Structure formats: C-alpha cells, structure tokens
Amino acid sequence: MGGEEVSNKQVILRDFVTGFPKESDFDVRTSSICLKLPQSSKNGVLVKNLFLSCDPYMRILMLQAYVPFPIDSFTPGSVIYGYGVARVLESRDPNLKEGDLVWGVTGWEEYSVIEETQKLFKIQHLDVPLSNYTGILGMPGVTAYFGFYDVCCPKKGESVFVSAASGAVGQLVGQFAKLLGCYVVGSAGTQPKIELLKNKFGFDEAFNYKEEPNLDAALKRYFPKGIDIYFENVGGKMLDAVLGNMSIHGRIAVCGMISQYNLENTEGVHNLMNIVLQRIRMQGFECFDYYHRYSEFLDAVLPLIRAGKLSYVEDIADGLNAGPAALVGLFSGRNVGKQVVAVAAQSCI
C-alpha cells in the first residue's frame, strides 16, 4: 500500500432531478485517491469496490425535497452511493482486516473510504457469486424474505400477487411463496419477463400489465376468489386495482411504489374503503428493520440456493461508465432481473 496515489473513477450527480432521471443527470469523472486511510479516520476502512447495486429507492435520494428516509439524499456535485460489494484494502475497524470482503453502502467509485463500518456486513460464504451480495444475499434478499414471511404472514394454499415480479425483490417473493405451497401470479412489463416468471421462477401465472386495458378485470381473471397477499412494489393504478380484489383479512406488504417516484404529482388511490370492508392489513416496512436478523436470513436462504431451489437472475453492466444508463434504465424496465454494475475487472475479483 504505502500511500500510492491512483486514479479513481466516480459517478457524480449533477443536480437534483425532476421527472424521469436521464443519463445526462450524471457525470463520470476521474479523480485521484491516496491508497491509505486519512489520519482523521478513527474506525474507517478503505475499500476497492467490486460490484454496485442499482435500486429503485435511489431515485428518492435524487430529490431536493426532504424525504424521511434512513439514507441521506445525494448531494449535487458529489459521488452518489448505494449498496455494493467491496474488498478491504486498509482497516482501522478491529472487526475487519485487509483482504476481507464486505457488502453495504459504499460510493459509486472505484475506491471508497467508509466510516460507518458498523453498517457493513462481512462476507463469510464464498461458494456463491460475489455479485449475489447485491441481490439475493443482500438488501433485496432481506427485503423479500422478511417482507414475505414476517409482514405477509403467509399460509400454505393462499393466493399471492407480486407486482414488478421479475425485479430484484419480486422474483424472490414469488419463489418463497411457491416453496410454501401458494398460488402465485406476477406482473411485469415485457413478454420476455413474463416467460421468465413462469419458466424460470415457477410462478403459476403472469401477465404484462402494459397489455391489460383494465387492471381490475385482469386481476379478477387470475384471482376469481380474491387475493390473500399482495406484495406491493408499484403503487398507483395497480394498488387501486388490487384493493378492489383483496380477500377478507388479506395482507398487503408495501415494499415500494416505483410507478410514483418520477411524478411531481403522485396518483391518488380511490379504493381505500375496501381496507375497512375487507379487513385488510396494509403495512409498509424497510429492510433496515431486519438487518439484526441477517444471520437468521442466511441460515434459511443459503441452503435453498445450494440445493438449487432458488433461482436468481442478474443483469450485469460492465464498468462505471455504464453505471448511469444502468441506473436510469430501472425506471423504464430496461433491466431483466437484478441490475448490477461490475466496477472491477474479473481478474481483480
């Protein structure tokens, strides 16, 4: 190490974003960094970033208006950040050492200094691809697992609907539901994604919401007796239609509302009275609520992966130059599966 100075490619947010984000909202710049922790760092780590995760919540961090969110908004002119996988180059944290692999929040750059090391997870299991720690074994996996089992309280034989079902979280929720013995239907926005849901992930049925002129009629077609569980990723018109098709004592786990993130005036929901009439429990949740149970999550999910009972599809973009396009592509459904950016060449991983 010895304090060598190297180039450090970074993704910078130009300014706060209104409407749909564009590649031009970001700059990819190259600065320099000294490969040694600064003297001011008390318990930090210096890391080489290997994979970065593109996630819909990052759109919220591009807003100028205050949003009550556990992660601070991005700062225009500065490096953006999100979940990623990295290798420790130097550490002043007694629980981490040089060479350790970690996942957690890091910068969208080649090298980062991370001070809040208590929020990093040390990677112990290396018999799965490292990129999986941006998805199935990272934040989306924790979200899907506890959102389904803890928030939805599922029972064998129930009817489950998952919107944005081919995404990082939805593809897992559907498979967890099938493993439990539920009837599962998913929605997505392209025919290839519909085929993926049925042929790769084992959903009983799937439909392209863009080809359905009447979402209420579509849901009645697939759920003639009503929806017991809805895993909400979309919001807006989809949520409104679902509320009109829930069973008595149905449960809705609100994970996200991607259809609303780019709207200056969000859509209203009109069927809220059905929450009363059908005795529906609708609950929002955050992955942060469950990180203290991460070891429990690994104990449950790793055996399923190793036994081939869980499939996971990743869409990997190569290099930080491809990062802005990969991130904004989430909001037009360009990605197929979990969108990841590979920062380092395979030889460095």
pLDDT, tens only, 228-259: 999 999 999 999 999 999 999 999 999 999 88
* Residue 76 CB partners (closer than 8 Å, separation 6+): 13, 14, 15, 16
What is the C-alpha to C-alpha distance for residues 132 and 237, in angstroms, rounded to an integer?
32
* pLDDT at residue 123 greater than cutoff 80: yes
Q: Please state the φ and ψ torsions of residue 72, each to the nearest 5 degrees.
A: -65, 150
Mean pLDDT of 255-283: 92
Report pLDDT for 205.
98
Kindly indicate the confidence band of residue 212, based on its pLDDT and cuts at 50, 70 and 90.
very high
What pLDDT does residue 172 have? 98
| Residues with Cβ within 8 Å of residue 309, at least 6 apart in sequence | 175, 179
5, 85, 95, 121, 226 from 90: Cα distances, Å: 14, 15, 12, 16, 55
pLDDT at position 244 is 97
End-to-end CA gap in the chain: 18
Q: What was the pLDDT predicted at 261?
A: 87
Mean pLDDT of the region 33-51: 94
What percent of the chain is predicted at pLDDT more than 90?
87
Question: If pLDDT is split at 50, 70 and 90, which confidence band does 66 have?
Answer: low
pLDDT at 346 > cutoff 80: no
The pLDDT, as a whole number, for residue 348 is: 62
